[in-house]
C-alpha cells in the first residue's frame, strides 16, 4: 500500500485511543477541565461502570457560547497560545485533545454558561457531529454528560473490565483529585450511590478521613518543607501504619496526579529501615516547583512529568518526609544533655555499676522514630534518630516490650494462650509448690495452665503465646520465687510480667538480622516507657547530635 495521510476522522480516533483508555479517563479529563475552570464544586456521576453514563458538573468559569463548538475541535485550547507557554504550564490541561477525543468515542452533551453571559448554551454531539444546539438558563458553570462510551468500538469495550472494576477506577481517580484539591467540594455518585463526598474546607486531613477513615486521618504526620527549588507538603503515615501495596501513595506535582517512579522511590527511601519488607507507607505528597523546572508534555494522558533537576527533587521529597517522620509528637520531647566526656563503650555490668554518673538521665518520655544502623557485640543495636545516636541494649529493650504486652493483654482480658502438644514437666520446691497453689488462678489469668503430676512434679500444659516456651521452667521458678518474696512490694501482676518477660527476651550475645532489629525498635517506639526495662534499668544510651558536634570539636 502506498503512503497516505490519514483522514481527519481516523486521526482523531487514533488520538482518542491514547487519551481515553477507559471510563476513568473520561472522568479524569472532565474533572481536570472543571479544576482548570476554577470550580469550587465538582459533582461526578457514573452508571454502568461509566459505559452507560458519565456526568461531570462544575461551578467554574464556563465556556462562552461562541467557543462551545471550538472546544470540541482538536488542539483547540484556551490554556496556552504559543510555544513559550508550553514551557510553563500551570493548568492541568493544555493539549486541547480531551473534549474532541471523548466526542469521537461517545455521545456527548454539554451545557455551560460563562460569567460574561446572561444565558447558557447547550450542545449535543453524536459521533463527533453536532446534532443539536440550544440556549437556556443555568447558573455559571459547565455540565458535560457522556453516554454510550465506546458503543461503536466493540474491541475497546471488550478490553474493559467489569462495571464494578471500572467503577473502582473512577472512585480511585476522584479520590486522588479530592486529595490534591482539599479546597474543592467533590461528590461522586456511582450507580446512584454516594461513593465519596468531601467538604471542600481545605483541610487535607478531612479528605483523608473521607477516603481512608478516621484512624488513618488521625495518625498521619504532616509534611511541610521548602527549599530553593521545591515546596513539599502533604501527609504521611508513621512507620507503625503501613500497607502491603503502593496504592496508598498519592503523588502530585503542582497538584497534577502523576505516576512518577522517582517520587515513589524518594518517598519509600524516607522510610528506609523503618518498614518491614513488603510494606509501603500511606502518603499524600504534593511537590510544587516552578513550572519551567518540569516538562508535563511527555504523554497524552499528562500523567507523567520530567523534572529538569531530578536528583534535587528526589532529595527534597525524601528530606521533607524524613523531617515529618522525625517530628512525631514524641520526638519533639527535649533531649536531656549528659556529659559526653564520660561517654564510652562499657559492658552492661559497668553501666549498671556506674549508673548515677554514667547513664544519661533519660526522661520518661517516648522515643522518636529510629533508624537501625547495625549491631554491636551481638548485644547492642546502634540506631540514629533525629536527635543523634542511640545505643540500645537488645535484651533490656525486648524485656520492656514483652513486659508491656503481657500486662496489656492481661488487663484487657485478651491473653493469647498457646496450648502445648508436649506438656513440659517441672519439679518445684516445697515453697514454690505452695506459692503455686496459692496463686493458681492468677497464673491462669496470664495463660499458664499447670497441673499436678505426682510428688511436687507439675505439667505445664499451656503458656502465654507471647513468651518463649524454651525457657518456661526458669521463668516459672523466678515467677514463683518473686511471688513469694515478702520484701518486694511490687504488685503480683507486675512480678509475673517481669519474670515471664525476663526469661523470654532475646539475650545479649544473640546475633539479630536487620529485620529483627528494626522490628524490635519499632515495637520499642510504641512502649510507654521505652527508655527503661521493667526492672528500672536503662534500655538505651543516647548521644545527642549536639554532644557529637561538641565532642568532635565542630562547636565549642
Q: Which residues in this chain contact ligand ADP in the complex, by CB under 6 A?
A: 29, 33-34, 37, 58, 60-63, 71, 76-79, 93-99, 142
Q: How far is the CB of 31 from ligand ADP (least distance, A)?
A: 9
Q: Which three cell numbers stand for residue 96?
A: 486541547
Distances (CA, A) of 151 to 14, 104, 107, 540: 16, 11, 9, 67
Q: Closest residue (Cβ) to ligand ADP?
A: 93
Q: How far is the CB of 226 from Mg ion (least distance, A)?
A: 30
Q: If contact means CB under 5 to 8 A according to the sort of partner, which of Mg ion, ligand ADP, none does residue 267 touch?
A: none
From first CA to last CA, the distance across the chain in angstroms is 82
Q: Which three cell numbers stand for residue 407?
A: 500486662
Q: Which stretch binds Mg ion (CB under 5 A): 10-18, 80-88, 90-98, 480-488?
A: 90-98
**35 alpha-carbon distance from chain centroid:** 26
Q: Which three cell numbers stand for residue 304?
A: 507523567
Binding Mg ion by CB under 5 A: which of 93, 120, 447, 534?
Answer: 93
Q: How far is the CB of 60 from ligand ADP (least distance, A)?
A: 5
Q: How far is the CB of 71 from ligand ADP (least distance, A)?
A: 3
Shorter beta-carbon distance to Mg ion: residue 99 or 217: 99
Q: If contact means CB under 5 to 8 A according to the sort of partner, which of ligand ADP, Mg ion, none does residue 54 touch?
A: none
Side-chain-side CA neighbours of 131 within 13 Å: the count stands at 9
How many C-beta neighbours within 10 Å does residue 32 have? 19
Q: If contact means CB under 5 to 8 A according to the sort of partner, which of ligand ADP, Mg ion, none does residue 61 touch?
A: ligand ADP
Which residue has 514463683 as its cell numbers?
480
Q: If contact means CB under 5 to 8 A according to the sort of partner, which of Mg ion, ligand ADP, none does residue 63 touch?
A: ligand ADP
C-alpha angle 353-358-361 in degrees, rounded to nearest 5: 115
Q: If contact means CB under 5 to 8 A according to the sort of partner, which of ligand ADP, Mg ion, none does residue 179 touch?
A: none
Q: If you write DSSP's letter for every residue of 484-525 in order, what string do you get?
A: H-SS--S-HHHHHHHHHHHHHSPPTT----HHHHHHHHHHHH
Q: If contact means CB under 5 to 8 A according to the sort of partner, which of ligand ADP, Mg ion, none does residue 60 touch?
A: ligand ADP
Q: If contact means CB under 5 to 8 A according to the sort of partner, which of ligand ADP, Mg ion, none does residue 335 touch?
A: none
**Near Mg ion in 15-44, by CB under 5 A:** 33
Cα–Cα distance measured from residue 53 to residue 144, given in angstroms and rounded to the nearest whole number: 11
Shorter beta-carbon distance to ligand ADP: residue 55 or 234: 55
What is the SS3 assignment for 19-76? HCCCHHHHHHHHHHHHHHCCCCEEEEEEEHHHCCEEEEEECCCCCCHHHHHHHCCCCC
Shorter beta-carbon distance to ligand ADP: residue 177 or 458: 177
Residue 98 interacting with Mg ion (CB under 5 A): yes
Cα–Cα distance measured from residue 322 to residue 339, given in angstroms and rounded to the nearest whole number: 28
Shorter beta-carbon distance to Mg ion: residue 19 or 475: 19
Summarize as ranges the residues that interact with Mg ion (CB under 5 A): 33, 93, 98
Amino acid at each position: 500500500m502506498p503512503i497516505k495521510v490519514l483522514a481527519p476522522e481516523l486521526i482523531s480516533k487514533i488520538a482518542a485511543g491514547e487519551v481515553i483508555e477507559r471510563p476513568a479517563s473520561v472522568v479524569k479529563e472532565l474533572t481536570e477541565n472543571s479544576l482548570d475552570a476554577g470550580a469550587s464544586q465538582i459533582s461526578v456521576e457514573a452508571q454502568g461502570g461509566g459505559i452507560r453514563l458519565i456526568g461531570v458538573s462544575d461551578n467554574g468559569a464556563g465556556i462562552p457560547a461562541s467557543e462551545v463548538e471550538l472546544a470540541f475541535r482538536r488542539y483547540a485550547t484556551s490554556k496556552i497560545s504559543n510555544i513559550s507557554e508550553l514551557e510553563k504550564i500551570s493548568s492541568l490541561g493544555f493539549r486541547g485533545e480531551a473534549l474532541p477525543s471523548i466526542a469521537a468515542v461517545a455521545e456527548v452533551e454539554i451545557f455551560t454558561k460563562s460569567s460574561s453571559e446572561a444565558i447558557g448554551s447547550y450542545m449535543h454531539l453524536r459521533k463527533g457531529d453536532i446534532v443539536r444546539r440550544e440556549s437556556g438558563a443555568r447558573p455559571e458553570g459547565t455540565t458535560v454528560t457522556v453516554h454510550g462510551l465506546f458503543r461503536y468500538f466493540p474491541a475497546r469495550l471488550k478490553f474493559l473490565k467489569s462495571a464494578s472494576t471500572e467503577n473502582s477506577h473512577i472512585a480511585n481517580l476522584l479520590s486522588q483529585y479530592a486529595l490534591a484539591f482539599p479546597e474543592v467540594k467533590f461528590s461522586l455518585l456511582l450507580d446512584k450511590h454516594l461513593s465519596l463526598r468531601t467538604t471542600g474546607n481545605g483541610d487535607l486531613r478531612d479528605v483523608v478521613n473521607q477516603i481512608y477513615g478516621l484512624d488513618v486521618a488521625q495518625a498521619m504526620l504532616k509534611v511541610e518543607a521548602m527549599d530553593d527549588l521545591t515546596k513539599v507538603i502533604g501527609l504521611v503515615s508513621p512507620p507503625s501504619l503501613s500497607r502491603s501495596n503502593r496504592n496508598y501513595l498519592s503523588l502530585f506535582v503542582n497538584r497534577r496526579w502523576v505516576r512518577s517512579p522517582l517520587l515513589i522511590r524518594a518517598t519509600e527511601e524516607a522510610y528506609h529501615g523503618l518498614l518491614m519488607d513488603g510494606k509501603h507507607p500511606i502518603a499524600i505528597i504534593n511537590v510544587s516547583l516552578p513550572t519551567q523546572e518540569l516538562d508535563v508534555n511527555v504523554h497524552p494522558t499528562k500523567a507523567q512529568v520530567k523534572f529538569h533537576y531530578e536528583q534535587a527533587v528526589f532529595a527534597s521529597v525524601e528530606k521533607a518526609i524524613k523531617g515529618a517522620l522525625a517530628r512525631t509528637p514524641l520526638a519533639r520531647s527535649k533531649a536531656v544533655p549528659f556529659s559526653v566526656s564520660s561517654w564510652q563503650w562499657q559492658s552492661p555490668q559497668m553501666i549498671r555499676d556506674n549508673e548515677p554518673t554514667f547513664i544519661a538521665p533519660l526522661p520518661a518520655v517516648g522515643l522518636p522514630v529510629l533508624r537501625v544502623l547495625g549491631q554491636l557485640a551481638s548485644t547492642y543495636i546502634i540506631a540514629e534518630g533525629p536527635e543523634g545516636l542511640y545505643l540500645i541494649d537488645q535484651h533490656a529493650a525486648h524485656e520492656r516490650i514483652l513486659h508491656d504486652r503481657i500486662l496489656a493483654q492481661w488487663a484487657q482480658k485478651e491473653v493469647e494462650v498457646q496450648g502445648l502438644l508436649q506438656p513440659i514437666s517441672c519439679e518445684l520446691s516445697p515453697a514454690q509448690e505452695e506459692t503455686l497453689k496459692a496463686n493458681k488462678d492468677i497464673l491462669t489469668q496470664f495463660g499458664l495452665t499447670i497441673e499436678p503430676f505426682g510428688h511436687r512434679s507439675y505439667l505445664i500444659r499451656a503458656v502465654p503465646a507471647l513468651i518463649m516456651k524454651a525457657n518456661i521452667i526458669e521463668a516459672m521458678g523466678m515467677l514463683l520465687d518473686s511471688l513469694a518474696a515478702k520484701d518486694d512490694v511490687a504488685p503480683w501482676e507486675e512480678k509475673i510480667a517481669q519474670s515471664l518477660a525476663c526469661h523470654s527476651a532475646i539475650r545479649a550475645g544473640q546475633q539479630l538480622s536487620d529485620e529483627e532489629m528494626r522490628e524490635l525498635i519499632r515495637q520499642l517506639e510504641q512502649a510507654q516507657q521505652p527508655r527503661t526495662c521493667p526492672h528500672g534499668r536503662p534500655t538505651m544510651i543516647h548521644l545527642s547530635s549536639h554532644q557529637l558536634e561538641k565532642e568532635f570539636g565542630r562547636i565549642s
